[in-house]
Structure 1
């Protein structure tokens, strides 16, 4: 399995600014406005549907009884609101496509290793374009938040 890494808002700003030829500050402000609007709508209890991406919804978890693991004493966990995300069709397809490609590469590497050959390094996939194998933007400079 290939190593996973965390992609930050800062990195998304860099990628989107580059792809749209916009200034990073403008891109950062737009992304922040988008995030703020998503949070505001969910805080109001609204359902947010982003076609192909997913549906964001606030659900209520009922209060329940639980046990303190240290003492074994029964405690009441209060009701709370949680955000749920149901992935959209395109998101599910892309995630599964990447998982299948990764599995195929791992199987090929295992077979090559078993035969004594050295497997080539995996090529990072840029999901911005179907079938693209452009390298990721790991070496780009960071910007302030």
Structure 2
């Protein structure tokens, strides 16, 4: 599912809301999650999962085309860990 499909489904499930309002709500939620991760905070949605930022230390990598050794800088990457309820529903144990 892509974001536009999510917005369409939510708008269809909530006919009292305009689609543009649903789109604003979805974008606001994603923006808040993004800003929290930028600040290094953890975002937990009970039953769904938790977003956090993980540090990847610098390392030596390889250029796949030439095989040359390349220095890869330290970076911070977003990480998502599923919640127990989501894992169980996806696994079919509801």
Asked whether the two chains share a fold, i.e. TM above 0.5, the reply is yes
Distance 2:6 2:51 in 1: 20
SS of the counterpart of 1:10? helix
SS of the counterpart of 1:30? helix
The aligned residue for residue 62 of structure 1 is: 57
1:42 partnered with 2:3: no
Q: Which residue among 22, 29, 50 is the counterpart of 1:27?
A: 22
Higher Cα Rg: structure 1 or 2?
A: 1
The aligned residue for residue 11 of structure 1 is: 5
Q: Which residue among 80, 84, 87 is the counterpart of 2:75?
A: 80
- Which runs of at least 4 in structure 1 moved beyond 2 Å after TM superposition? 69-72
Q: How much has 1:67 moved relative to structure 2?
A: 1.8
Higher strand share: 2
Distance 2:18 2:38 in 1: 30
Q: How much has 1:76 moved relative to structure 2?
A: 0.5
Q: How much has 1:56 moved relative to structure 2?
A: 0.4
Q: How much has 1:46 moved relative to structure 2?
A: 0.3
The aligned residue for residue 113 of structure 1 is: none
Q: Pairwise CA RMSD of aligned residues?
A: 1.5
Query: For structure 2, which runs of at least 5 residues remain unmatched after alignment?
Result: none
Normalising by structure 1, report the TM-score: 0.60
1:18-59 Cα offsets, whole Å, 9 max, x none, are: 212211111000000000000000011001111001010000
